[in-house]
Amino acid sequence: MISKDEVEKIAHLARLEIDDSQKEKMAEQLSNILQYIDKLKDVDVRGVKLSSGVAFMNNVFREDEVGVSPGPCVTLANAPERDEDFYTVPRVVK
């Protein structure tokens, strides 16, 4: 069972604000999710073929090609804020 303290830690790491009335409900919901996932360890998968998908494909990357830069007028056209030829963003490190 996930505790309210663990919910607070998870919310802090995810930069979420959760009020006290939501913590109990969130703890219950997260516990239910983990219990459901825990059931997967009991599933018998012997004889089940691997499914195909992206994980089994070979390298699908294209070759790098040198191209002409569109320049700051184009690349910064939709920037919410800019300082000459640079994006301006909020400071994230103190």
Domain membership of residue 74 (yes or no) is no
Return the pLDDT at 16: 92
Q: What are phi and psi of 86, to 5 degrees?
A: -130, 150
Is residue 28 a part of any domain in this protein?
Answer: yes
Q: Tens of pLDDT along 21-77?
A: 899 999 999 999 999 999 988 999 898 887 766 666 677 788 889 999 999 889 999
- Decide if 87 is inside a domain: no
Strand (E) or helix (H) holding 25: helix 20-38
Q: Which of 29-33, 77-81, 90-94 is the most confident on average?
A: 29-33
Number of structural domains, the chain?
1
Question: What residues make up the domain containing 32?
Answer: 4-42
